[in-house]
Amino acid sequence: LQSKLPEVGVSIFSQMTALAQQTGALNLAQGFPDYDPPLLLREALARHALAPGSHQYAPMPGLLRLRQAIAAQVARLLPEAPAPDADQEITILAGATEGLYAVLAAVVRPGDEVIILEPAYDLYGPAVRLQGGVPRYVRLPAPHFQPDWAAVRAACSARTKLLLINTPHNPSGAVFTAADWQALGQLAEDYDALVLADEVYGPLVYDGVAPGSAWQHPALRARSFVLASFGKTYHATGWKVGYCLAPPALTTQLRRVHQFVTFAVSTPTQHALADALEADPTDAHWRGLATFYQAKRDAFRTGLAGSAWQLLPVPGGYFQLAGYAAFSGAGDLAFAQELARAWGVAVVPVSAFYHDGYDPGLVRFCFAKEAATLAAATARLRRPP
């Protein structure tokens, strides 16, 4: 069989997690917490798992009570924007992963161009190509990884169907500013393009900066699919539940694909998430995430302060990029393998986020870890073998 994705192997995240298991290295590679979701949420899931009556298919767009709880939360968090309509503008998905795939499958036709800003999450390019779409890659300039909008504009054409953006950004942590949202909205309007806003790290914005969303901007809201993930917001990456906000006409197209990819997401899990949202009418959990993760970011950075690691700024997200030129002149994949084997810390090489293998000489650490894990990791990283 001739592969439809001949150059794609096992994802770098699975590879590095396997290497961590093989070598016994601390796993700061794949992005997931080494702690559990809040007890309240786990108890809610246990309750729904034990109760009769919530074990068959949920409605295709998601449980109405979960969509209503999300609509109410978005209305509280973004009071200046119209609340999304639970019926027509919110769809529950099997993680943002399904959302990305389903949106691309719903809108990209053969020959359509999709703007992807690199470094980029590994599924973006392949998922575009599976639809016959053509990724147009634009590099984000280091060390801040803020889009160069003149370069993005230069990559746009009459064939541009969609602009795919990710803020806070994986792997750099870059966060869109008001000027970025404005530039994106203008570009989308000028080229009559749709926007896919991957906002899975939405609340993780640090140093007092307010979180932003495409949903806040009228010009964007009308043409955007906005993705969120409960995996990130509830420390529950294994639950695989997320959602998409989009205006009714776009939601209709997304659901046409979602019903054939997943049909519906796990029912007891959706009930548990609805319970957790309903139990928190002030969004204390969501609003607390920035403080929670900023403390982890700061602990990790303090642990490496004064070392030869070159730490890039981290305005958001849960990853730290670091330059290792002081330790090695090797390529980032070779260095990442050496880090796991000899230093006992697993990371992700940043070249994995570039379609052409560009190697900026950086590795990515995930700091969504217990304080003890971060302390053990930084102790190892301070003492090269």
**Residues 159-182 as b or e (16 or more Cβ within 10 Å = b):** ebbbbbbbbbbbbbbbbbeeebbe
- Out of ligand GLN, ligand PMP, none, which partner does residue 229 contact, by CB within 5 to 8 A per kind? ligand PMP
Q: Which does 294 bind (CB under 5 to 8 A by kind): ligand GLN, ligand PMP, none?
A: none
Residue nearest to ligand PMP (CB): 95
Q: Using CB atoms, what's the residue nearest to ligand GLN? A: 31
**30 is in the binding site of which of ligand PMP, ligand GLN, none (Cβ under 5 to 8 A by kind)?**
ligand GLN
Contact stretch for ligand PMP (CB under 6 A) within 93-101, 102-110, 213-221, 330-338 = 93-101
Q: How many residues bind ligand PMP (CB under 6 A)?
A: 13
Among 200, 272, 339, 374, binds ligand PMP (CB under 6 A): 200
Q: Which is nearer to ligand GLN, 30 or 146 (CB)?
A: 30
Taking the complex as a whole, the smallest distance from the CB of residue 83 to ligand GLN amounts, in Å, to 29
Per rule CB under 6 A, is residue 173 in the interface with ligand PMP?
A: no
What is the three-class DSSP state of 121? coil
Minimum distance, C-beta of residue 61 to ligand PMP, in the bound complex (Å)? 17
Does residue 31 touch ligand PMP according to CB under 6 A? yes
Query: Nearest-CA neighbor of 241 among 222, 255, 228?
Result: 228
* DSSP per-residue string spanning 232-297: HHTT-GGG--EEEE--HHHHHHHHHHHHHHTSS--HHHHHHHHHHHHT-TT-HHHHHHHHHHHHHH
Please list, residue by residue across 239-266, b when 16 or more beta carbons sit within 10 angstroms of its beta carbon and e when fewer do. bbbbbbbbbeebbebbbebbeeebebbb
Residues interacting with ligand GLN, by CB under 6 A? Answer: 11, 13, 30-31, 170
| Closer residue to ligand GLN in complex, CB, 197/250 | 197
C-alpha distances out from residue 108 to 99, 101, 127, 130, 215, Å:
14, 10, 10, 10, 22
Which CB sits closer to ligand GLN, 170 or 262?
A: 170
Residues in the chain: 385
Residue 118 in contact with ligand PMP, rule: CB under 6 A: no
Q: Which is nearer to ligand PMP, 166 or 262 (CB)?
A: 166
**Between 71 and 105, CB nearer to ligand GLN:** 105
Rounded to a whole number of angstroms, the minimum distance from the CB of residue 187 to ligand GLN is 26
Q: How far apart are CA 241 and CA 230, in angstroms?
A: 6
253: left (phi over 0), alpha (psi -120 to 50) or beta: alpha
Quote the Cα angle for 205-207-211, to 5°: 30
Residues that bind ligand PMP (CB under 6 A): 31, 95-97, 121, 166, 170, 198, 200, 229, 231, 237, 242
